[in-house]
């Protein structure tokens, strides 16, 4: 042993290293346990805080949509596979699940309701194994086009096989056919907690998948498939196995959908429009982060339930939001959160408070002006027989008055100008903050 290894400095360093190892609480990860604990607590107390029937319905939809969006993110975010047919596996899982419920209610098979989502998951996995063998042979744009073709194929088959798909009316069921520890799942609260349990377990399972060798190799196939092939892995097989796993969890989400609504129609479950919704909101939430699809699922329910009730132009608003996100935040909402957490970590977030407040104020003015114009145009095109008055934010807009149009245009233009000015100011300050953070990192490394 060298004399350097015997110096007191090395001895103190070794003691410090042992102390640090002790205070890391290995093998426990306190931060991760806290996050998952808060997630479980949120699922438990959410229906106790939001007690209305509409809120309970929305919470149930958020629960199974979290599973579906996370399953889609296995393809898009982790594997780089842009699919336009993910609703196929969710929808087919729903149909198999609802047929299993009807057979169980008739006494033909013995499956308790709590296992029906597993039936949907197995169905989704089965069809993913069949269709995925074809789709995963290609990647990129070709993969996306094949998934779109398969989605249209399954959607068109709905009218060809009415015995299975139920035609235009769909398939109905009654979930109250058995009891599980005294629970008959007749109430919406019991159904919500069933969905919440599956949501937590499936979310944890999909998070665990990201750390498996297959999950890591899927990331490598996404980033550099040539190198993966060079080290001896079959990229098509990696994509295929991930496709099957994504289909399994999508089918579980479909089974929970059947339990929640007790009716499944082909138009609402296997259409390409539904697949596009999963893609859109997974992207808006942030496909590059694991928790991004969770945010996307919440946004999907808010848009489809609340926004659609407020205005008939909700799809236009949704398209505009998607356009702005692609232009200014392509990483989704999750990327915005993570970037600002990084700024806060280095103590610079206070410098952004005033610019953010300016963006918020200018954005509200811009949205009010734009929304008033959109609502008046929609009213003139769709509801002109109801008169010239349009209810808008507690007031009324008169589409027959030129002053109303003038004020709306002025508000929109002024808000847009203010928003652009504040955006440029924020961008300059953001750049200086990033430079300061890089300097701090370099000093730390030095």
**313 contacts 329 by C-beta, under 8 angstroms:** no
Per-residue pLDDT band at 10 (split at 50, 70, 90): very low
pLDDT of residue 23: 42
For 171-227, the DSSP string reads EE--S-S--BTTB---SHHHHHHHHHHHHHHHHHHHHHHHTSHHHHHHHHHHH-HHH
d(CA 99, CA 171): 8
Q: Where are the alpha helices (DSSP H) in 302-401?
A: 308-310, 314-328, 332-345, 350-382
pLDDT at 21 over 60: no
One-character DSSP codes across 24-58: TTTT--HHHHHHHHHHHHHHHHHHHHS-SHHHHHH
pLDDT given at position 357:
95
For residue 19, pLDDT over 50 is answered with no
Say what the pLDDT of residue 118 is. Answer: 96
Residue range 175-202: average pLDDT?
Answer: 89
**Adjacent-strand bridge partners of 397:** 390
The C-alpha torsion from 323 through 326 and 332 to 337, rounded to 10°, is -100
- Residue range 327-370, pLDDT digits in tens: 888 889 999 999 999 999 998 999 999 999 999 999 999 999 99
CA-based Rg of the chain, rounded to a whole angstrom?
26
d(CA 375, CA 400): 13
pLDDT tier at 28, thresholds 50, 70, 90:
low
340 burial level (CB within 10 Å; 0-12, 13-18, 19+): middle
Report the C-alpha gap between 200 and 66 in whole angstroms.
10
Q: How far apart are CA 428 and CA 446, in angstroms?
A: 27
In the block, which residue shows the tokens 């490394």?
445
For the segment 111-151, what is each residue's pLDDT rounded down to a tens digit? 999 999 999 999 999 999 999 999 999 988 999 999 999 99
**DSSP letter at 303?**
I
**Hunting for tokens 């346990």 — which residue is that?**
33
The sign of the torsion formed by the CA atoms of 392, 398, 399, 402 equals: negative
Whether the Cβ atoms of residue 210 and residue 222 lie closer than 8 Å to each other: no
Three-state secondary structure readout of 311-328:
CCCHHHHHHHHHHHHHHH
pLDDT at 9 over 70: no
**383 phi/psi in degrees, rounded to 5:** -125, 35
Could you report the per-residue pLDDT of 285-343, keeping only the tens digit for each? 998 899 999 999 999 999 888 888 888 888 899 889 999 888 888 889 999 999 999 99
- Look at residue 391 and give its three-state secondary structure: strand
Where residue 13 falls among pLDDT bands split at 50, 70, 90?
Answer: very low
* Predicted local distance difference test score (pLDDT) of residue 158: 83
Judge whether 300 and 118 are in contact, CB under 8 Å: no
SS3 81: coil
**pLDDT score recorded for residue 132:** 94
pLDDT at 2: 38
Q: Name the residue among 61, 25, 66 with its Cα closest to residue 205.
A: 66
Other C-beta atoms lying within 10 Å of the C-beta of residue 100: 24
- Residue 90 pLDDT > 90: yes
- Check pLDDT > 60 for residue 14: no
Q: What percentage of the chain has pLDDT greater than the value 70?
A: 93
User: What is the number of other CB atoms lying within 10 angstroms of the CB of residue 125?
Assistant: 23
What pairs with residue 389 in β-bridges? Answer: 398
Among residues 208, 279, 283, 214, which one has the least CA distance to residue 242?
A: 214
- Tell if the pTM clears 0.75, that is, is over it: yes
Instruction: Compute CA 241 distance to the chain's CA centroid, rounded to the nearest angstrom.
Output: 22
Name the band, by pLDDT with cuts 50, 70 and 90, for residue 266.
confident
CA pair distance 389, 370, nearest whole angstrom: 17
Q: Encode 61-83: b = buried (16+ Cβ within 10 Å), e = exposed.
A: bbbbbbbbbbbbbbbbbbbbbbb
Report which secondary-structure segment, H or E, holds 6. Answer: none
User: Strand, coil or helix: what is 387?
Assistant: coil
6 by Cβ neighbours in 10 Å (0-12 / 13-18 / 19+) ranks as: exposed
Tell me the pLDDT band of 26, cut-offs 50, 70 and 90.
Answer: low
Q: What pLDDT does residue 395 have? A: 84
């Amino acid at each position: 042993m060298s004399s350097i290894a015997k110096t007191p400095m090395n001895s103190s360093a070794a003691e410090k290293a042992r102390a640090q190892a002790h205070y890391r609480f290995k093998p426990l990860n306190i931060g991760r346990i806290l996050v998952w604990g808060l997630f479980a607590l949120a699922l438990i107390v959410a229906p106790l805080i939001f007690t209305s029937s509409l809120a309970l319905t929305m919470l149930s939809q958020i629960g199974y949509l979290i599973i579906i969006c996370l399953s889609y993110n296995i393809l898009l975010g982790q594997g780089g596979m842009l699919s336009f047919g993910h609703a196929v596996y969710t929808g087919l899982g729903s149909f198999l699940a609802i047929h299993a419920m009807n057979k169980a209610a008739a006494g033909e098979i013995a499956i308790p309701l709590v296992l029906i989502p597993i039936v949907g998951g197995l169905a989704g996995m089965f069809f993913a194994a069949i269709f995925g063998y074809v789709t995963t042979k290609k990647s990129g744009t070709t993969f996306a086009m094949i998934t779109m073709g398969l989605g249209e194929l399954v959607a068109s088959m709905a009218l060809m096989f009415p015995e299975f798909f139920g035609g235009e009316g769909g398939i109905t069921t009654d979930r109250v056919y058995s009891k599980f520890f005294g629970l008959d799942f007749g109430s919406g609260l019991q159904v919500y907690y069933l969905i919440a349990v599956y949501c937590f377990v499936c979310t944890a399972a999909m998070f665990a998948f990201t750390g498996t060798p297959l999950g890591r190799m899927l990331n490598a196939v996404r980033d550099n498939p040539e190198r993966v092939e060079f080290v001896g892995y079959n990229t098509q097989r990696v994509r295929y196995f991930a496709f099957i796993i994504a289909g399994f969890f999508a089918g579980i989400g479909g089974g929970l959908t059947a339990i929640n609504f007790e009716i499944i129609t082909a138009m609402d479950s296997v259409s390409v429009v539904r697949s596009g919704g999963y893609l859109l909101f997974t992207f808006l939430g942030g496909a590059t982060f694991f928790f991004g699809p969770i945010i996307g699922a919440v946004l999907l329910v808010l848009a489809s339930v609340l926004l659609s009730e407020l205005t008939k132009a909700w799809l236009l608003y949704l398209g505009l939001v998607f356009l702005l996100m692609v232009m200014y935040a392509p990483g989704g909402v999750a990327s915005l959160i993570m970037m600002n957490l990084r700024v806060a970590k280095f103590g610079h977030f206070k410098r952004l408070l005033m610019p953010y407040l300016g963006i918020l104020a200018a954005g509200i003015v811009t949205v009010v002006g734009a929304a008033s114009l959109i609502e008046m145009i929609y009213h003139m095109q769709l509801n002109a027989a109801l008169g010239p008055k349009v209810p808008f934010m507690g007031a009324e807009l008169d589409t027959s008055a030129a002053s109303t149009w003038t004020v709306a245009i002025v508000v929109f233009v002024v808000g847009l100008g203010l928003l652009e000015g504040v955006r440029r100011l924020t961008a300059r300050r953001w750049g200086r903050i990033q430079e300061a953070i890089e300097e701090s990192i370099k000093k730390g490394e030095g």
